[in-house]
Amino acid sequence: MSSIKLRAVVALSGLALVCAAQLARSEAAAPRKAAVPAKKAAAASKSAISAEFEKFRDIMEDASPAELFEAKGAELWKQKRGPKNASLEQCDLGLGPGVLKGAYVHLPRYFADADAVMDAERRIVYCMVTLQGFKEADLAKQPFSKGSHTPDPVSLVTYVAGQSRGMKIAAPQKHAKEREAYKIGEEIFNYRAGPWDFSCATCHGDDGLRIRTQDLPNLSSKKGAIAAFQGWPGYRMTGGLQHTLQWRLNDCFRQQRVPEPGYVSQTLSDLMTYLAVNANGQLYKGPGIKR
């Protein structure tokens, strides 16, 4: 990254913090308990804060902080690391060992060696375990970015996703297990549970839903499902951390008040299969920015 671009990133990160602080304030001011999605008035378009954020995102995505994590991921990918002192360069993300171009938009997919449908993060963790000798239990101890700590898989997924920038989403449905993953993902999406009897669909199954200032994408529709892809992995302005879709879904399980699934679990791969297949055919713009 050029130093000019780097400076732009730093400057814009400052801007992001201000914006995030404002968001946090406006959210803190809103009642915390009633996180029940409401249908916005027919005439109202996006919330004012969403519109403001869209403006920031347009500017920021030209010099996105996500690029820093992409660069870090590229380094990690090539380094000999772990108990086996190996790099990830032989990791097969579905298009052959070491093939990164387009791999992300063709995930989740079925992998015969693991006899499972895996999403990008799960597959990368699988490679870290099989090729480098890391222990999955260790990686699962603190899998999400927190404070100044960004777990290696987060940077690695960002790097891999960057290699599919500008490509069409094409999650396969050829293998029987891929079709099964979609079906189970769809069931999970619509399954109501927890103290409020919410499902993912309660918040993401209809057009025009909103919680407080946040517009909720309709992930069950072809048009809305792109929100599960676009900008992920992403630099989240609220909190200033880089996160993957694993984190996003995990946090939504938490919002749904149901137990959070295990890190890189089949449940998450199934849900991601549902979301990705719904978004098939649309263009992936690469790692980005989230509010």
Q: H/E element holding 290?
A: strand 287-290
| Binding residue for ligand HEC, selected from 19, 63, 66, 203, defined by CB under 6 A | 203
Token reading at 157: 């997924």
Place of tokens 């991601």: 272
Q: How far is CA 117 from CA 28, 156, 165, 226, 283, in A?
A: 39, 19, 23, 20, 22
| Chain centroid, CA 290 distance in Å | 10
39 pairs with which residues across the strands?
Answer: 209
Residue 210 found at the interface with ligand HEC (CB under 6 A):
no
E strands in 99-258: 109-111, 116-118, 167-168, 209-211, 214-216, 231-236, 241-243
CB 47, min distance to ligand HEC, A: 9
CB 261, min distance to ligand HEC, A: 9
Residue number with CB closer to ligand HEC (132 or 273): 273
DSSP label of 262: P
Place of tokens 């679990």: 265
| Binding residue for ligand HEC, selected from 105, 128, 228, 241, defined by CB under 6 A | 228
CB 204, min distance to ligand HEC, A: 5
CB 84, min distance to ligand HEC, A: 34
| Binding residue for ligand HEC, selected from 249, 264, 276, 289, defined by CB under 6 A | 249
Count of residues interacting with ligand HEC (CB under 6 A):
25
Pairing relationship of beta strands 287-290 and 231-236 according to DSSP bridges = parallel
Dihedrals phi, psi of 159, to nearest 5 degrees: -60, -50
Binding mask 10-39 vs ligand HEC (x if CB under 6 A, - otherwise)?
-------------------------x-x--
| Binding residue for ligand HEC, selected from 211, 239, 240, 260, defined by CB under 6 A | 211
Residue from 158, 163, 155 nearest 139 by CA: 155
CB 120, min distance to ligand HEC, A: 14
Binding mask 150-189 vs ligand HEC (x if CB under 6 A, - otherwise)?
---------------------------------------x
Token reading at 185: 């993902």
Residue 221 found at the interface with ligand HEC (CB under 6 A):
no
Interface contacts to ligand HEC, rule CB under 6 A: 35, 37, 189, 198, 200, 202-204, 211, 214, 216-217, 219, 227-228, 231, 248-249, 252-253, 255-256, 271, 290-291
